[in-house]
Chains A and B, each alone.
Chain A
Amino acid sequence: MAESTSVRKLITGRAIVVPGDDIDTDRIIPARYLRLITFEELGKYAFFDERFDDNGKPRKHPLNDPRFSGGSIMLVNRNFGCGSSREHAPQSLMRTGIQAFVGESFAEIFSGNCTALGLPAARVSHEDAVRLQSLVEADPALVISIDLESLTVSAGGRKVSFTMPDSDRKSLVAGTWDTTAMLLANREAIKAAAARIPYLNFGAASGGSRD
């Protein structure tokens, strides 16, 4: 594993303000684009129905706003990413160039999906979220940085603290957010668990011993 490229200690970049509470994953990536069997093309379809009208003409939306073009940090509000578990949501945003989120709160599955993709989701207070959003609205060229070691977001000489689940922070900082290899390293313990869990050993009817 290329540890050095997976380490997420400091994310720096310009921001995109996507205001609003309870922005669900159906809005982030409409379900019809989930019929693709790879994630590769999804960047084009992020927030599609909010970015384009029925005739495909661009509407007013932060992702269409040239002032935010090239932004890599998405500033959001409460309960971002609620609803469907579709990883397509953070995948599509990642493929538009998003590398991190700063918001008031994140839906749990969405947040886990972000970590699994190496995208930090920093939680700030309502006041700080609104303040950061206005700073960027006033000066979209402003460079923001998210420091996962000191748990601070810096923007234009201001510094605010943020929180995130400590396990997420550790995995991102250590570059171990892709967990497959780590889980498989405990293969013997996995087998031991399977041997002791009663329902796995109830007999053929339970599907426990097909092999």
Chain B
Amino acid sequence: MGKTLLDKVWDLHKVATLPSGQDQLFIGLHLVHEVTSPQAFQALVDRGLTVLFPQRTFATVDHIIPTDGQRRPFADELAEQMMRAIEKNARQHGILFFGNTDDQGIVHIIGPELGLTQPGMTIACGDSHTSTHGALGSLAFGVGTSQIRDILASQTLSLTRPKVRRIEVTGTLRPGVHAKDLIIRIIADLGVNGGIGYAYEYGGPAVAALPMEARLTMCNMSIEGGARAGYINPDSVTFEYLKGRRFVPAGKDYEKAVQFWKGMASDPDADYADTHTLDGSSLEPMVSWGINPGQAIGVSGKLPRVSEARPADQEALRKAYDHTGFTEGEPVQGLAVDVAFIGSCTNGRISDLREAARVVKGRKVSSRVKALVVPGSRAVLRQATEEGLPEIFRAAGFEWRDAGCSMCLAMNPDKLTGRQVCASSSNRNFIGRQGSPHGRTLLMSPAMAAAAAIAGEVVDARQMLPAGNGRS
């Protein structure tokens, strides 16, 4: 039997077997952001320890940074204090900090963008969406603050090797169906806890055909299906994407790196714990209607009836209807929206903004909708500006913002209020996630969120694309 990428990466990084039976794993890349790290740095100092591999540790700021002007000091005193803490910690421990530079952005956007993220690596960050980086064929996962402390101190973690589930997507995604739709559908099929104990390996023709940014979107939401890590085997798309990026070896070293990367992909006869197959051609754009990302349906569908659901899911559905106030059996198309948010580590990349702009161009945001576009990084912002995207969005009535996590989570000034319904390209529709305990989040692709902004309600974005031209 051959080995999976996970097995190869694991074996390469294994330092020791610990008395608990867990493995001590070397972490090749440690990404740090402002929210989950200050307590870890403090713990390190309290114990008289230092950062063992500062050259493998990189920091940015994303969660708390305002997106409507980033001048210091921030209006929010707590945010300013948090920013100062990461500036001080990075300086004191010799860690490269992108927060005050042109490279600032959401940690899961800038890692791949700068070429820090590479195949065959182990990558950890105090953020559950670290699974994103698996798109380049790395083993990447979120950790808590105690584990951040462990990595800072030792560049290693105590971990249990997960099982690997192969998720095979056959066929071809139809025009206007995106990686976001695919991953939401997988979560809806396998459940929000279906991936506990697993890493998801995504493959098959529909995945192989995805460009890198779409792959990042897909792996990003692995954690929403309970899988701490998700990955795609590195291939020519990966190698081309990485070529020339700042932290990627150049020249002969690049060739050497490609050889290493190729060798880390799963063997054709690799052994998987189990396999889930789905026909990519059968998909349509997806919309979440409930309070977890698995409570989602195709855009032509109707909200489920509690009585028809599996008994084990009925309580969760009831809770979802209690919160959303939506009606069982009503079509998801036509649900009115108050806010549209395009951005986040899931969908804040240049290709996402292009897709949204294709829908928006020449149209106007509904008068009842507040709509905002938030680039995932300053590099995305610059690229979008070069392509004239801010003008397209602004002309339609969107607000065009600075880079940050923004309305994905309520740690900065961008928040829902009251009972607002938000068409959101982010990753979580949990109660209160977007800042109002009563707010409601409908997860969807950037194109779908753009279409909802214009229509003032959930619509099928494919109707707004030129005929026969729905595919990126």
Question: On chain B, which size bracket covers the interface?
Answer: 35 or more
A205 touches B250 (CB 8 A): yes
A105 touches B193 (CB 8 A): yes
B residues whose Cβ falls under 8 Å from a Cβ of A: 12-16, 18-22, 24, 26, 28, 35-36, 38-39, 42, 47, 49, 52-56, 58, 63-64, 76, 78-79, 81-82, 85, 116, 118, 120-121, 126-128, 130, 141-147, 149-150, 153-158, 160, 192-193, 196-197, 223-224, 226, 228, 246-250, 253, 256-257, 260, 292, 312, 315-316, 319, 409-411, 428, 430-433, 435, 437
**Whole-angstrom CA separation of A85 from B58 in the bound complex:** 19
A197 touches B432 (CB 8 A): no
**Whole-angstrom CA separation of A23 from B47 in the bound complex:** 34
Which candidate, A7-15, A140-148, A183-191, is the interface stretch facing chain B?
Answer: A183-191
Task: Name A31-62 residues within 8 Å CB distance of B.
Answer: 31-32, 34-39, 49, 54
- The answer to whether A183 and B430 touch (CB under 8 A), given A32-B410, A211-B55, is no
- The answer to whether A87 and B430 touch (CB under 8 A), given A186-B16, A200-B56, A205-B248, is no
Query: Which 6 residue pairs of A and B lie closest in terms of their CB atoms, listed nearest first?
Result: A87-B144, A116-B146, A210-B55, A113-B144, A85-B142, A79-B193
Residues of B within 8 A of A126 (CB): 312
**Whole-angstrom CA separation of A37 from B41 in the bound complex:** 10
Task: Name A145-177 residues within 8 Å CB distance of B.
Answer: 165-168, 170-171, 174, 176
8 Å CB contact of A109 from B28, B38, B128, B155? B128
Other A-B pairs, 16, CB within 8 Å; known A85-B126, A108-B226, A190-B24: A27-B430, A27-B432, A35-B79, A38-B39, A87-B146, A109-B228, A180-B154, A182-B18, A183-B156, A186-B15, A189-B16, A198-B120, A205-B249, A206-B248, A207-B55, A207-B247
- The answer to whether A112 and B24 touch (CB under 8 A), given A85-B36, A205-B250, is no
User: What 0/1 readout, one digit per residue, does chain A (65-104) give for beta carbons within 8 Å of chain B?
Assistant: 0000000000000110011111110110000000000000
A183 touches B158 (CB 8 A): yes
8 Å CB contact of B411 from A35, A171, A200? A35
A211 touches B54 (CB 8 A): yes
Residues of A within 8 A of B316 (CB): 20-22
CB of A111 to closest CB in B, whole Å = 9
B146 touches A184 (CB 8 A): no
**Whole-angstrom CA separation of A126 from B193 in the bound complex:** 15
**Whole-angstrom CA separation of A182 from B18 in the bound complex:** 8
Residues of A within 8 A of B42 (CB): 37-38
8 Å CB contact of A79 from B14, B196, B250? B196
